[in-house]
Amino acid sequence: MLLEIKNLSKTYRSPDGGDAVDVLRGVDLSVAVGETVAIVGPSGSGKSTVLNIVGALDRADAGEVLVDGRDVEKLGEADVAAYRSATVGFIFQLHHLLPQCTVLENVLVPTLAQPGGDRAALRERAKTLLEAVGLAHRTGHRPGQLSGGERQRVAVARALINQPKLLLADEPTGALDRVNAGRLVDLLVEMNRAQGVAVIMVTHAPELAARMGRVVELMDGKLAEVRR
């Protein structure tokens, strides 16, 4: 298994001393190498919390997250940085591209965390990815000169630059219209096939969730398989 989540629990204590919220109450999920999984569920059910814990952006209170057999919660500081930049790739609802950088430079941002890489080879890979996402003719543009759909496609290329094994996409189509949302999910499926990267996508749209190999639903703090 690429990812094994076992009995994950997370409680948020309210800052004003009010009631604590048990967001995750024993979540289990296994994802195989190269699989695609949609996470659906009501707003506030903890979908982003799960993704953030898997991506080592947040910590669980109990349970285990194993990626490639390594316990994410036990990574040291240096290993966590390498994990976030190379083992997983992130795509969020908003692209978070750097406005002053070109499209090509934005795609290369995650490579800056690891000095000593072959810069020329990385630029070539960035160009190949931009071609794959249909933006070969936009490499010198700034994000402000792109459409919303194009910006999200740059974010996909950026998420894949370090050849992650797992792509974590939190409502990547949330800011897109229907047509562009469909195109972005097509692209994720294509990248899954071409690069062998496993994809976990959170979405509210059933027709987009249906494009993933499996659908799981988060409700009342637990994950249940909806379709296998």
Ligand X SMILES: Nc1ncnc2c1ncn2[C@@H]1O[C@H](COP(=O)(O)OP(=O)(O)OP(=O)(O)O)[C@@H](O)[C@H]1O
User: Which region, judged by CB under 6 A, interacts with ligand X, from 36-44, 158-166, 175-183, 189-197?
Assistant: 36-44
Partner from ligand X, Mg ion, none contacting 203, C-beta within 5 to 8 A by type = none
Residue among 185, 136, 177, 182 at smallest CA distance from 156: 185
Q: Should residue 45 be labelled a site residue for ligand X when binding is judged by CB under 6 A?
A: yes
Binds ligand X by CB under 6 A, chosen from 18, 19, 43, 77: 43
CB of 226 to Mg ion, least distance (A): 18
- In angstroms, what CA-CA distances link 96 with 85, 101, 184? 15, 12, 16
Can you tell me the distance from the alpha carbon of 3 to that of 33, in angstroms, rounded to the nearest whole number?
A: 8
Binds ligand X by CB under 6 A, chosen from 21, 32, 94, 98: 21
**C-alpha atoms less than 13 angstroms from C-alpha of 87 in its C-beta half-sphere:** 20
Partner from ligand X, Mg ion, none contacting 45, C-beta within 5 to 8 A by type = ligand X
Give me 61's structure tokens: 């209170």
Interface with Mg ion in residues 35-64 (CB under 5 A): 48
Question: Given the complex with Mg ion, which of 48 and 152 has the nearer CB atom?
Answer: 48
Q: Should residue 48 be labelled a site residue for ligand X when binding is judged by CB under 6 A?
A: yes
Question: Given the complex with ligand X, which of 17 and 115 has the nearer CB atom?
Answer: 17
Residue among 62, 21, 53, 63 at smallest CA distance from 220: 21
Contacting positions for Mg ion (CB under 5 A): 48
Contacting positions for ligand X (CB under 6 A): 12, 21, 23, 41, 43-49
